[in-house]
Structure 1
Amino acid sequence: MANIKNNTLNKKLFFFSLPMIGSLLTQQLYNVADMIIVGQFIGAEELAAVGNAGTVLLLFIVISGGIELAVEIIFSRYIGKNEQEKLAKGTTALIVFGAVLGIFLAVVGFFLLPVLFDLMNVPKRLLELTNTYCFIYLVGVPFIYVYDISRAMITSLGDAKKSFYLILSSSLLNVLFNLLFILGFHLGIAGAALGTILAQGIIMCVSLLLLYKKSLANPYFRLTVSIDPIQLKEISTIAVPSIFQQFVVTLSSVFLQSFVNRFGNEVIIGFIAVTKVLTISRIVISGFAQTLSIFSAQLFAGKKYSELNQTYRFLTKVSLIYAVLVSLIFFLFSEQLCNFFFDSQQYPDGFHFFNTYLLFSIGTLFLTVFKFMNESILRSALKMRAYLLCNIGDLLIKVSSTYLLLQVVSSNAFWLGEAIGRLLAVGLSIYFLLLIKRTIKQAVIENTLP
């Protein structure tokens, strides 16, 4: 009976993960589509500009990711405890909050762009192109906030498939609009940014409509904004550390991009391309980790520790199998992956950087499996200080190691610094998981005492 129960849980986890992975993959392809289209149909210089612009823009949308993560975890806990009233109140309040915050950050962004470009050492020949893309994209930041929050709510309510369809539709519209504005209307890099925000705006409206229809099933739902201080505190417990963590991630990207910009155009495009390939390669692991966050939040709330252990083991094992398959792809198809972004023959130095970084990142990929899984447990257990320490430690070591190693191993410092930081994060996360396990064992013993 135990084996049947475990197999049923494993099957449930796997199939729940698929639309989650599909959503994350499609979302990432959405972000990469601009770069592929720009690199293939406009030029390498424009690709470098979009890459720099993307790093800057992350600073203004990073808060959205933290709120989205908090919504998924906290709303999942509400569902685990059947707290329907909190679900209803949180829905309208967070949507309005996201819209206001998005508008505020977009306005701030317009004034900060010159300062950020200077901090990143953006080459002068790329400044005008980078500024054009950023300025247009910032107009769509409020769309991103409302869309991300509403989609996270839909996912938490158990409809991961609709969340996937939203991202898929958004990505397809993004590609179509980009091709239309770049190839049809010849708007260049401005067309790439315009196509992106137009796609976001349309899908935001669809997402809100779907969320409204699902919320009607909740007897407490009203189209009024009701702020619950206790609920805000619960959400901020997850959101604030996550936002801070993601902000540090983005800030580290700004510093790394500034280091890369010193090496010239070929290394810039090589770095942009390889980081996108690596990000996409980690999507499946992120999807399994996100599934672990959602399920473990409910299991922690219900004190179902046996199922929690089974969930962690299964999702980690599947992720490791996936990492092996991805490693083979990196070895066999490195040049083909590079050619999605730019011609490896035309830019040999760019390809050399791309290939070296990609192959030496294989070891880091396996470390990433344990980092993502362990941190999912830390978040779901609301051990946000431990989660934050793992992430901040990773990033600080990564940036500082890269900076110090640049003088010794030149451009190889980028992949080596990342590996060192990731190794530290895995070690810390294992330590904190052992502390949680000890606490759970003690609680179980106390509950079984007469």
Structure 2
Amino acid sequence: MHMTEGKISRQLVTYSIPLILGNLFQLTYNTLDSIIVGRFIGKEALAAVGATAPIANILILGISGICIGASVIMSEFFGAKDYKMLKKEMATTSVFGLFFSLVLTLIGVITARPFLELFNTPAEILDMATTYLRIIYLGIPFTYFYNSIAAALKSIGDSKTPLKFLAFAATLNAVLDLIFIGGLNFGIVCSATTTVIAEAVSALLCVAYVYKKIPILQVRYSEFRIDRALLKKTLGYGSITALQQSCQPIGKLLIQGAVNLHGVDMIAAFNAVSRIDDFAFTPQQSVSHGITTFVAQNRGAKKYNRILNGFKNGMVIEVIYWMLICATVLLLKEPIMRMFVTEEGSGDIIALGSQYLGLMAFFYILPAFTNGVQGFFRGMGNMNLTLIGTLIQTSLRVVFTYLLSPTLGINGIAYSCVIGWTAMLIFAAPFYLKFRNQYKLYR
């Protein structure tokens, strides 16, 4: 899909909806996985999965950052109709990614237990969490290749195909979980293994599709080589985006350290509400990626007059989604929490989660704005601003979590989010105004 001409609102909606649906499929699976683990294995297993999530996400979102950086470059080439350079970027990203993902896998497996110990993981769930995390890390190469090919498809305006493959893989994952955990009582090792299997399937489906249907992305064996200039540019964009993406799980990991001090019930409650947070944040990030692709394509085509209107349309979509998620969470916060645990002995978990969600429903409007602005900056090629803004937000969130949670409990975590997001918007506003005036986007 070329976004350099045509009706802007329709293009953004058409592009963003598959991204949102794809992420909702993934989030639904992640939530279902937690529900299955919590109800069929126990609250200790639910806490173990929750304790591993921030650590696993550091590497996984780092990979996502590299792929987003490459996607911005490919969007520019596609907007400029330079398909030769688009294919070179695809080859460079693939060769680099193979070695990069294998190194990350090795690092993750070796450091899994030390990191869990470093962040105060309770002894009663440490062994379980270590095993789960190491298996998840074995799927990193598959995660990289799915994300890189999906990013390439999205850069040329195809956000529907990655959705189809992700939906299939998530469904497969959920079915395997229900059979082996819910039906056969296999335990937490099976939960991690089925996740890796689903990641492998989604990666293989993407590769097969590109080589059957998308000639401009088909790289022949002899063309698989690294273009040094493109690699430098990719790492320039991608490393900053990877750092920015990794800041979020690093911050969450530090927050998890504070949560772990409050015991298993607090850990389990925080794991559950984090899944619901993701239903707010991830679709907002999907719209942000739509803004990025739109801005990057139009920047490549030098159509600066379309960019501001695209940004405004994207922000309208962000606000509409916030209204939907806010109403849903407010109305269903307690039933949502009851899905994660059985009633017996879990009253505190349900109460803690319901308190948190009742506050956060209103606060979700803030990341709608921060994600939209960051999507604009990425599309304009200024990754430094996204990194600095995220560092400000994450640092304040961590600091205020440790200051507020001892007295306010889980509500202190919610208030710390508000402080971080507000500071991020205050930082970003003048830079957005500068970009608007510099490129005369008001015309």
TM, length-normalised to structure 1? 0.92
How do residues 59-138 of structure 1 correspond to structure 2 at under 5 angstroms? Answer: 59-138=58-137
Work out the CA distance in 2 between the residues paired with 1:381 and 1:71. Answer: 14
Amino acid at match of 1:370: F
Comparing 394-403 with 325-334, greater Cα deviation is found at: 325-334
- Residues 88 and 221 of structure 1 are in contact (CA less than 8 Å); yes or no, is this contact kept in structure 2? no
Q: Aligned partners of 1:322 and 1:256: how far apart in 2?
A: 27
What's the counterpart of residue 191 of structure 2?
192
1:297 shift after superposition:
0.7
The residue that corresponds to 1:414 in the other structure is 413
1:6: Cα distance to partner? 10
Structure 1 residue 205: Cα displacement: 1.3
Question: Does structure 2 retain, via aligned residues, the 8 Å contact 1:16–1:160?
Answer: yes
Amino acid at match of 1:161: K
List per-residue Cα deviations over 1:132-189 (Å, max 9, x = no partner).
2112222211111112111211222322111100110110111122223223443200
Distance 1:151 1:361 in 2: 31
How far has the Cα of 1:434 moved from its partner? Answer: 0.9
- When normalised by structure 2's length, the TM-score is 0.94
1:256 corresponds to: 255
Q: Secondary structure at the match of 2:224?
A: coil
Deviates more, 1:256-265 or 1:154-163: 154-163
Q: Please report how far the alpha carbon of residue 111 of structure 1 lies from its aligned counterpart in structure 2 after TM superposition.
A: 1.6
2:266 is matched with which residue? 267
Which residue pairs with 2:391 in the alignment? 392
Q: Give the aligned partner of residue 201 of structure 1.
A: 200
Higher relative CO (Cα under 8 Å, sequence separation at least 6) belongs to 2
Counting only pairs closer than 5 Å after superposition, residues 438-449 of structure 1 correspond to structure 2 as 438-441=437-440
1:36 aligns with 2:35: yes
How many residues of Structure 1 are paired with residues of Structure 2 in the alignment?
A: 440
Deviation of the 1:420 alpha carbon: 0.3
Deviation digits for residues 289-335 of structure 1 (CA, Å, limit 9, x no counterpart): 11111001112222323321211112211221221222111221111
Question: Is the CA contact 1:42–1:188 (under 8 Å) kept in the aligned structure 2?
Answer: yes
Structure 1 residues 180 and 414, CA gap change in structure 2 (3 angstroms) = same
1:181·1:195 contact (CA, 8 Å) conserved in 2? no
* Alpha-carbon spacing, 1:407–1:195, altered in 2? closer, same or farther (3 Å): closer
Amino acid at match of 1:163: P
Deviation at 1:220, TM superposition (A): 7.7
Q: Which residue of 1 aligns with 2:422?
A: 423
Equivalent residue, structure 1, for 2:56: 57
Secondary structure of the structure 1 residue equivalent to 2:364: helix
Shift of the alpha carbon at 1:444? 9.5
C-alpha distance in 2 between matches for 1:143 and 1:444: 43
Deviations 1:186-212 (A, max 9, x none): 320011011111111122111111122
Indicate conservation of the 8 Å contact 1:6/1:310, yes or no: no
The answer (yes or no) to whether the contact 1:73–1:293 under 8 Å persists in 2 is yes
Unaligned 5+ runs, structure 1: 446-450
- Tell me, yes or no, if the aligned pair for 1:121 and 1:261 is still in contact at 8 Å: yes
Work out the CA distance in 1 between the residues paired with 2:253 and 2:219: 44
Residue of structure 1 in register with 2:293 after alignment:
294
- Does the alignment pair 1:183 with 2:182? yes
CA–CA separation in structure 1 for the residues paired with 2:86 and 2:387:
26
| 1:213/1:223 CA distance change after superposition, 3 Å | farther
Give the SS at the match of 1:282. helix
Q: Please say if residues 30 and 275 of structure 2, whose CA atoms lie closer than 8 Å, have aligned partners that are also in contact.
A: no
Shift of the 214–7 alpha-carbon distance from structure 1 to 2, 3 Å rule, reads: closer
For 1:319-398, what aligned pairs fall within 5 Å after superposition?
Answer: 319-343=318-342, 346-398=345-397
Note if 1:316 corresponds to 2:315.
yes
| Residue of structure 2 equivalent to 1:23 | 22
Distance in 1 between residues matched to 2:263 and 2:217, nearest whole Å:
56
User: Using a 3 Å threshold, how does the CA distance of structure 1 residues 6 and 241 change in structure 2: closer, same or farther?
Assistant: closer
User: Which residue identity does 2:278 align to in structure 1?
Assistant: T
Conservation of the 8 A alpha-carbon contact between 1:215 and 1:221:
no
Structure 1: distance between partners of 2:81 and 2:433: 30
Q: CA RMSD in A?
A: 2.2
| Residue-by-residue CA offset, 1:208-263 (whole Å, 9 max, x unaligned) | 11122344346985553221122112212221111111222221111111110111
Cross-structure match for 1:213:
212
Residue 138 (structure 2) pairs with residue 139 (structure 1): yes
Question: Deviation at 1:124?
Answer: 0.4
Shift of 1:30: 3.4
Amino acid at match of 1:76: S
> Partner letter of residue 387 of structure 2?
L
State the alpha-carbon separation in 2 of the partners of residues 377 and 336 from structure 1: 37
**C-alpha separation between the residues in 1 aligned to 2:428 and 2:395?**
16
Q: Distance in 1 between matches of 2:298 and 2:190?
A: 46
SS at match of 2:439: helix
Supply the AA of the counterpart residue of 1:309.
L
2:400 is the counterpart of 1:404: no
Identity of aligned residues (%): 25
Deviation per CA, 1:351-390, whole angstroms, max 9, x where unpaired? Answer: 2221121121133211111100101111111112211111
Tell me the CA shift for residue 122 of structure 1. Answer: 0.5
Cα distance in 1 between the residues matched to 2:198 and 2:410:
37
How many angstroms does 1:273 deviate by?
0.7
Look up the match of 2:284.
285
SS at match of 1:173: helix
Partners of 2:283 and 2:251 in 1: CA distance: 23
Asked if 2 retains the 8 angstrom alpha-carbon contact of 1:178 and 1:195, the reply is: yes
Distance change >3 Å, CA 168–CA 102, structure 1 → 2: same
User: Which stretch shows the higher mean deviation, 7-16 or 241-250?
Assistant: 7-16
